[in-house]
């Protein structure tokens, strides 16, 4: 009886060790597509930031190496508070959080930016990952210049992982809206996938 119990205990220990190793080797990226069914972000000419980003994010990853795991948070776009959003993201235990939005400015088309928050717990690591994403995304000549800004975006402060926001395209420029809904989505997807595969 005792021997049997010891065997069961050892089995449990070995399962736990295996699970931990797997966790250590897997790099989990949580993608937060900004906005939801109720707050659709910027809306111009009946096109919303939420809808354009829904399609873009749905195809943003190609083939990933085995140790990269990408989770799209809130794919159905349920309405939630910032606190709920942050709590759900934290429960996924991410190694990196990327919140994807579109910008809105009078600067014309071909705009992209990385937004960081220096109160994020992994600020230094966030900068490293952001700079790698810039290198990959700027392979697409359309977004050849990608700005970096440090602001007080609240979500970046509430998540327990390195995090940044990517603002891809300018909602206020019809050319950017069109680009992200046509051949641009494929280019962004390829470069984003290459960035993800470089994380490990
Ligand atoms: Zn937005």
Q: What digits encode the pLDDT tens for the residues 129-178?
A: 999 999 999 999 999 789 999 999 999 999 999 999 999 999 999 999 99
pTM, full prediction:
0.87
Mean pLDDT in residue range 76-101: 96
According to DSSP, the β-strands at 146-150 and 47-48 are: unpaired
Q: What is the mean pLDDT of the chain?
A: 88
Ligand 1 centroid to residue 101 C-alpha, Å: 4
- CATH for 29-62+80-197 is 3.40.630.40
Ligand 1 centroid to residue 73 C-alpha, Å: 15
Ligand 1 centroid to residue 140 C-alpha, Å: 22
With b for 16 or more beta-carbon neighbours within 10 A and e for fewer, the 6-22 pattern comes to eeeeeeeeeeeeeeeee
> In the beta sheet, which residues pair with residue 31?
72, 98
Annotated domain spans of the chain = 29-62+80-197
Ligand 1 centroid to residue 90 C-alpha, Å: 20
Ligand 1 centroid to residue 142 C-alpha, Å: 20
Q: Is the pLDDT of residue 4 over 60?
A: no
Mean pLDDT in residue range 74-98: 95
Ligand 1 centroid to residue 54 C-alpha, Å: 12
Ligand 1 centroid to residue 74 C-alpha, Å: 15
Ligand 1 centroid to residue 182 C-alpha, Å: 20
User: What's the pLDDT at 196?
Assistant: 94
Ligand 1 centroid to residue 120 C-alpha, Å: 19
User: What's the pLDDT at 84?
Assistant: 96
Name residues whose C-beta falls within 8 Å of residue 97's C-beta, 6 or more positions apart in sequence.
29, 30, 31, 32, 89, 155, 156, 159, 161, 162, 163, 164
Ion ligand 1: protein residues whose beta carbon lies under 5 Å: 34, 41, 101
User: What's the pLDDT at 14?
Assistant: 46
pLDDT in tens, 182-200: 999 999 999 999 999 999 7
User: What's the pLDDT at 66?
Assistant: 82
Ligand 1 centroid to residue 102 C-alpha, Å: 6
Give a three-class secondary structure readout of the chain: CHHHHHHHHHHHHHHHHHHHHHHHHCEEEEEEECCCCCCCCCEECCEEHHHHHHHHHHCCCCCCCCCEEEEEECCCCCCCCHHHHHHHHHHCCCCEEEEEEEECCCCCCCCEEEEECCCCCCHHHHHHHHHHHHHHHCCCHHHCCEEEEECCCHHHHHCCCCEEEEEEEECCCHHHHHHHCCHHHHHHHHHHHHHHHCCC
Ligand 1 centroid to residue 57 C-alpha, Å: 14
Mean pLDDT in residue range 57-82: 88
User: What's the pLDDT at 92?
Assistant: 97
């Amino acid at each position: 009886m005792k021997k049997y119990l010891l065997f069961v205990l050892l089995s449990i220990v070995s399962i736990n060790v295996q699970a931990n190793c797997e966790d250590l080797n897997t790099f989990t990226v949580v993608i937060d597509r900004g906005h939801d069914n109720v707050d659709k972000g910027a809306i111009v000419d009946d096109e919303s930031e939420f809808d354009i980003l829904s399609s873009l994010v749905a195809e943003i990853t190609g083939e990933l190496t085995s140790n990269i795991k990408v989770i799209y948070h809130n794919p159905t776009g349920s309405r939630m508070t910032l606190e709920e959003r942050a709590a759900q993201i934290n429960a996924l235990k991410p190694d990196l959080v990327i919140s994807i939005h579109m910008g809105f400015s009078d600067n014309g088309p071909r705009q992209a930016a990385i937004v960081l928050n220096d109160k994020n717990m992994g600020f230094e690591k966030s900068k490293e990952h952001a700079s790698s994403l810039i290198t990959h995304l700027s392979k697409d000549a359309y977004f050849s210049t990608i700005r970096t800004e440090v602001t007080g975006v609240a979500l970046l402060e509430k998540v327990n992982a390195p995090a940044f926001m990517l603002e891809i395209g300018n909602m206020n420029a019809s050319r950017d809206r069109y680009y992200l809904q046509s051949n641009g989505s494929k280019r962004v997807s390829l470069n984003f996938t290459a960035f993800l595969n470089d994380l490990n």
